[in-house]
Amino acid sequence: MKKRGAAVLLAAILLFLPFRATALEIWEAFDPDFLFSETKTENFNTDFTLSGHPAEDLITVALAQSGKTTNQLGYTEAWCADFVNDCAKLAGIDKGVIPWSYSARGSCTYLYDYMLNRCAAEQVTNPKRGDLVFYYCTVCETFRHIGIMQSATLSVEGNYGGRVNAAVTTYNDPRGHSVKSGDVIRLFLRPSYSLPTVVHGDTDGSGVFDEADAAYLLRTLLAPERYPTDHKIDLNGDGEEDVQDALFLLRAALFPEEGAIPAKHLPVFADADAPTCTEAGEIGESHCSFCGQLLSVRRKADPLGHDFVNHVCTRCHEVRPESVGLEMKLNDEKTGYTVCGIGECADADVVIPSVFEGLPVTAISLFAFENVPSMKTLTIPLSVTEVGAGAIFQCSSLTAIYCAAPSLPDGWSPHWAEYTSAEIFWGMDKPPSLNFGEEHF
């Protein structure tokens, strides 16, 4: 009885939501290239650091394989397109941008048509880094070869002379047709790196999530080989892949306000030795907790660098006693530096360093600190022997100035602090408000 109900429902959905077969889908169904695809990422050199910029990362992964031969990589077919797909996979590029997954059939023809029709790739004539170059023989009327552009002219290609190589417009096809003779032309595709690609609920891969996806999912459940999907099927999360999931999908499409299908990927990162302020580390691979799609691969990560807020790193609590980022000017004699502005420094407790780039900091110029509302205290080291008139001018939050000198030095203008109401303390080389411990000074 239950089965019959499901069958009636299925028939109803199929009737009202007719399958939207496109010419491409029909063509795909008969394309013998379906049979050819290999992935050999396990043999790839993975000693590279990804930047998170897909076009750059694609090139990075490809170049890391430079010189690798067919045997070393382990491909057993013509592998120029497999190589692009495998590079995209390791670069963490979305399958909706370069289809490296189940649909990544290692055929230049397939890749070209699929990327153009399904991945919003753009045909361009002015190639740049990260674009794909397709070699099309106008005599044989077939795509012959593919590579990844490193620049407007230089590419990196798999299976070029039997290995991964850089190339400049020099392809010859097996029948002797060449770029040079004009028989082989180069066509360029710019992958849609910046577009959000995999759409949750988009089981038919049309690029949108709508009721047709529920109908497609029913077909997938009935004939998975014929109607493949790389989308998760157990959408209602009950552990079963069945007609209930198609119903769930239909409801989600009809009532999007219920939010059953999240609009964006929900990334979850795998454990890894994370980088610290000073040590390199790894960032674990990430998957979407809803659809399971791999969003980024495990990668090496550079040290994060400290994040100082008023002398203390927010991550590791390391203390940096002296302020950085102050505007400094080399004096005419090139013997020392003059502080002439707050620059990039955002410290509440500004501590002028006594040495900058190997030379002493000897002076503070006229109006160096003019209207610096972030500054609450200012500390001036012993090395400063000259301070201009009005050096501290209308700094509204400034309450205290600590001077390492025991009393007003001869070289300081008598008017140096005339335009501030801050209290001045002599013989103090650090602000008492900062509790760093003695060893830092």
List interacting residues with Zn ion (CB under 5 A). 137, 139-140, 173, 175, 177, 265, 277, 288, 290-291, 306, 313, 315-316, 318
Min dist. Cβ of residue 296 to Zn ion (A): 12
Q: How far apart (Å, rounded) are the C-alpha atoms in residues 202 and 210?
A: 7
Min dist. Cβ of residue 277 to Zn ion (A): 3
Q: Which is nearer to Zn ion, 315 or 440 (CB)?
A: 315
User: For residue 90, which of 273, 241, 293, 298 has the smallest C-alpha distance?
Assistant: 298
3-state secondary structure of 13: helix
Q: How far apart (Å, rounded) are the C-alpha atoms in residues 68 and 411?
A: 68
Q: How far apart (Å, rounded) are the C-alpha atoms in residues 362 and 62?
A: 52
26 torsion bin: left (phi>0), alpha (psi -120 to 50), beta (else): alpha
Q: Which is nearer to Zn ion, 313 or 348 (CB)?
A: 313
Contact 149, 128 (CB under 8 A): yes
Contact 432, 441 (CB under 8 A): no
Q: 337-341 and 386-387 as β-strands: parallel, antiparallel, unpaired?
A: unpaired
Tokens representing residue 234 in the block: 């157990």
Q: Which is nearer to Zn ion, 262 or 373 (CB)?
A: 262
Min dist. Cβ of residue 219 to Zn ion (A): 22
Q: Which is nearer to Zn ion, 20 or 175 (CB)?
A: 175
Q: Which is nearer to Zn ion, 146 or 288 (CB)?
A: 288
Which residues on adjacent β-strands are paired with residue 419? none
Q: How far apart (Å, rounded) are the C-alpha atoms in residues 334 and 359?
A: 9
- Integer-rounded Cα Rg, in Å, for the chain is 32
Min dist. Cβ of residue 278 to Zn ion (A): 7
3-state secondary structure of 313: strand
Q: Which is nearer to Zn ion, 70 or 276 (CB)?
A: 276
Tokens representing residue 135 in the block: 């070699």
Min dist. Cβ of residue 399 to Zn ion (A): 28
Min dist. Cβ of residue 387 to Zn ion (A): 33
Min dist. Cβ of residue 435 to Zn ion (A): 18
Q: Which is nearer to Zn ion, 240 or 318 (CB)?
A: 318
